[in-house]
Amino acid sequence: MNEQFRTETDSMGPMQVPAAAYYGAQTARAVENFPISDLRFPRRFIRALGLIKKHAALTNQELGGLKPELAAAIVKAAQEVIDGQWDSQFVVDIFQTGSGTSTNMNANEVIANRADELLGGRRGGKLVHPNDHVNRGQSSNDAIPTAIHLAALEVIERGLIPALSELSQALEKKAAEFHDVLKIGRTHLQDATPIRLGQEFGGYASQVQHGIERLRSAEKNLGELALGGTAVGTGINTDADFARRTIERIASETGLNIREAGNHFEAQGGRDAIVEISGALKTIAVSLIKIANDIRFLGSGPRLGLGELRLPATQPGSSIMPGKVNPVMCEMLLQVCAQVIGSDAAITFGGSFGNFELNVMMPVMAHNLLQSMELMAKGSQVFARRCVAGLEVNREKCKANLELSLSNCTILAPVIGYDKAAKIAKVAYETNRTIRQVAQELSGLDKAKLEELLDPAKQT
């Protein structure tokens, strides 16, 4: 037993800690307290915590609060956390204290114990103290929301916006490729007037681009960091210059547009910026659902559906029906979007728990937000590459559907009147003929004029 564990102490007394662990007593206590799920904070969040600890140590040394040798060991250990070397040591469940204190202490203890080793000491020796040194100038109440914002900004800039941009470009490329394809438009799931397939895809591309712009707009508030507010927003136990200097250092390393919060009471009492960015994600999810659904319906069939698009065949579609191929990439994206919308509900509910000076739902908000961003980034990228890029058009089907549409009578209404045009549509429907055929009998227009009016290209 003595070989498997070591004894560490925290303010509540001694605690058995696995001998090989870099975390300490508070983390081990949290592991016992919260055996809830297999969910842990993701890599992006751990990296963000490492960035905070690294640059806080440099600032504290500069301000005279840390000896150079201690600061150097903390910086090196924090860099290892940033690089992902100790991800396995972040063991606290997402469902824990609402401030994320257990995870903040997890980071403090891992970095302190690793710094002890770097200084020639042993794990648990506290040459570097997790609270006094690694956490100096910070509180979980400002460090955790700062880490959430940093992690989210990095996912947006490095993952989500590039993926959405790739999807938008793929859709724009198809819009150009399909510009000459004339087809029937549809409203209320019923036949409407002619449209170009390229116009439809141009609309899809614009939806995605609008989503990117929504993210850019929401990034402004996400760039405000709570660091410097410590316990309740007053900045107790930290230097007035600590937050500004530390944030400037993080900004220099990451290239992110970040700054100290203008009002620390807002920055810690509420999580409105997270709710806002989640709302933008939900809106994008709604856009992607529309796009994925349209594409799979336009490709339905292949013989007995709309059949105007041919979707890439990526895998067999049935374990019982040979030759069946399903729109699996569309279905994948729909499920991603369903998850994002569900996560937004959890984030919105969490955002409403800003109790006085602190929101107490931060871990679950962080988990849902970062998961949504990663899912949407990967889902959009895969959809662009494995579905949109390989789309083909069935020109014959588009042409045939267009000719059969009863809405072709719409262009006749300004010339012959609404009632007469409606009668032509009714007769065409009842006799199973085209508008062109019936109009030659009932419109009173000569053939040349009728052909001119019924030219679908002019109607688009």
Q: Which residues are annotated as catalytic?
A: 188, 318
Q: How many CB atoms lie within 10 A of CB 449?
A: 12
- Give the C-alpha distances (Å, rounded to integers) separating 290 from 73, 167, 314, 333, 425: 52, 14, 21, 11, 30
Examine residue 302 and say whether the peptide bond preceding it is cis (omega within 30 degrees of 0): yes
Measured in degrees and rounded to the nearest 5, phi and psi for residue 9 equal -125, 150
d(CA 107, CA 46): 8
Region of 218 please: left (phi>0), alpha (psi -120 to 50) or beta. alpha
d(CA 132, CA 67): 12
Helix, strand or coil for residue 328? helix
Count of CA atoms in the C-beta half-sphere (13 A) of 303:
2
Cβ atoms of 277 and 222 within 8 Å: the answer is yes
| E-strand stretches of 157-260 | 182-187, 190-196, 224-225, 259-260
d(CA 264, CA 284): 30
Pairing of strands 259-260, 224-225: parallel
Q: For residue 201, what are its two tokens?
A: 């895809």
Torsion angle in degrees (nearest 10) through CA of 290, 292, 295, 297 = -80
DSSP line for 376-413? HHHHHHHHHHHTGGG-EE-HHHHHHHHHH-GGGGGGGH
What crossing angle do the helices spanning 272-298 and 140-155 adopt, rounded to 10°? Answer: 30
d(CA 32, CA 92): 9
Q: Residue 202 carries which side chain, given as an amino acid letter?
A: G
Length of the chain: 460
